[in-house]
Amino acid sequence: MERASWTSATAATALALVAAIPIVYYKWKQSGVRQERQEALKLLRKVELIIGEVSVRLMHIENQAEDLLANEGRPEQPDQVDSESSLSSYYHFDSQGNKLKTKWDSYDVDAELEKLDDDEQRSSTNKTSTSAAPGQRPAPTISKSKLLTTVAGIENEFEAILEFLDDVRGDEKVKAARKDLVTRITTEHLSRVDAVRVLLA
């Protein structure tokens, strides 16, 4: 009798273990899928940050291209000289031909030159690279070929991101996030790259 109860208890335990194994396996499998999804979504968030950084660089290139084209049509303006002025405008004569006194007769050229030299030395020590004459845009320091090369590099970065996204696998949530990123790159960012190329062509 003891043996029968012990055997029935062992059989019941074995039956419970056999029933529990698929449940434990299912739970283990679900936790693995959930962990893979979390890792894939984390990876997609990192890719989204990279897309944002590349997009900001593309925006800077768009601005540089617009500045280049805006300054291209404008001729370089040396010191603007009044076209109506002439050498004789500094001198005023009366009706007998005598020269009238002007402010330039008492002008101290040497003192003014020293003052200009002092101002120039001060400005050269405090000069910043972005300072320009008021009302005048600084001349662009980048050429069309450099901009086109940089745009090509950005396009290659977007294509590399697309290739990387092809390898990201996961469930429906991961697929939807991946599709959103791919759509944003192909419709928004690559069209901006093409627009900059057309602008510079």
Q: What is the mean pLDDT of residues 27-33?
A: 73
The pLDDT of residue 129 is: 47
pLDDT of residue 105: 67
More confident residue, 35 or 103: 35
Output the pLDDT for position 76: 54
* Domain boundaries, given as residue ranges, for the chain: 37-73+142-201
pLDDT band at 104 (very low <50, low <70, confident <90, very high): low
Q: Region 3-28: what's the mean pLDDT?
A: 75
Contact status, residue 86 vs residue 152, Cβ threshold 8 Å: no
Nearest to 37 by CA among 179, 184, 182, 172: 172
Greatest CA span in the chain, whole angstroms?
152
Q: Residue 43: which of 161, 155, 154 has the closest Cα?
A: 161
Nearest to 136 by CA among 66, 83, 75, 60: 75
Residue 7's pLDDT is: 77
Report which of 75, 58, 78 is spatially closest to residue 66, judged by C-alpha positions. 58
Q: What are phi and psi of 168, to 5 degrees?
A: -80, 120
Q: Which CB contacts under 8 angstroms, 24+ apart, belong to 143-147?
A: 143/68, 144/68, 144/200, 147/61, 147/64, 147/65, 147/68, 147/196, 147/200
Cβ atoms within 10 Å, residue 189: 19
Euclidean distance between CA atoms 140 and 96, whole angstroms:
55
Please report the pLDDT score of residue 124 as a whole number.
Answer: 75
Give the pLDDT confidence score for residue 58 in this predicted structure. 92
User: Token pair for residue 70?
Assistant: 């805006």
pLDDT per residue over 42-82, tens digit each?
999 999 999 999 999 999 999 998 888 888 766 555 444 44
- Range 37-73+142-201 classified under CATH 1.20.58: yes
pLDDT at 118 over 80: yes
Contacts of 53 (CB under 8 A, 6+ apart): none
pLDDT digits (tens, 9 = 90+) for 123-182: 777 655 455 555 555 555 678 888 888 999 999 999 999 998 888 888 888 889 999 999
d(CA 33, CA 41): 12
Q: pTM of the entire structure?
A: 0.55
Which one, of 43, 67, 49, 48, lies nearest residue 147 by Cα? 67
